[in-house]
Amino acid sequence: MPQILKALCLLLAVSFLASCNVGTDKGKDQSAPSDSGENLPGQQEKPSPALVPRPPEPQIESTPKGWYDDYNAAMAAARQTNRPVFVLFTGSDWCGWCIKLRNDVLTRPDFKKLAAEELILMFVDSPDGFALPPRVKQAHEMLAQTLGAGGGVPHAILVSPDGKKLGDISGYRKETEYLDELRKIIRRK
């Protein structure tokens, strides 16, 4: 019974998030390469079985290039590529451990390579320096509740293309420890 309730909550959250496409441009080609010179999650040296769609324009200003901040779009990319979604709950401008994780792990070449080959990246920010649009804030809260993110950040949750929670990493780890733990979770897919 609890699994059915979790699945129903996830379905409701995805439906709600689908209606929150604030700031997205549905007319743009989402699979076009970036003109910014930065690598997107799907750009890699060896051929990929499926082209990773480019994330839509971010809903919030703190979302890094190449990361989704729309759960519905991230899950669609996950299903298309058969890759899990790395959902990062963060406080980008106030959480010291989040900033340290970004600097020590998430912007480093080994993480970028792993992400480019095996993940869809999703950024769920709770900033302090600016207000999120109410619909985005509500969508983030529902997603955290649905995925069981708890209240602390940084908190990463891996979600399979079919919406099942594969595992999570709570808090900060050094780069090698974080990547080892992340690879163990990815292998569960």
Mean pLDDT for 137-153 is 90
Kindly write down the DSSP assignment for every residue of 162-182, as one continuous string: TS-EEEEEES---HHHHHHHH
The whole-number pLDDT of residue 58 equals 82
Question: What percentage of the chain carries pLDDT values higher than 70?
Answer: 73
**Class of CATH domain 2-22+53-186:** alpha beta
Mean pLDDT for 117-145 is 93
The whole-number pLDDT of residue 59 equals 80
Mean pLDDT for 55-61 is 83
pLDDT at 2 over 70: no
The whole-number pLDDT of residue 189 equals 64
Can you tell me the distance from the alpha carbon of 153 to that of 76, in angstroms, rounded to the nearest whole number?
Answer: 25
What's the distance, CA 176 to chain centroid? Answer: 20
> Cβ(20)–Cβ(70) under 8 Å?
yes
Report residue 59 as tokens.
């809903």
The more confidently predicted of residues 183 and 40 is 183
The more confidently predicted of residues 49 and 183 is 183
Please state the φ and ψ torsions of residue 107, each to the nearest 5 degrees: -105, 5
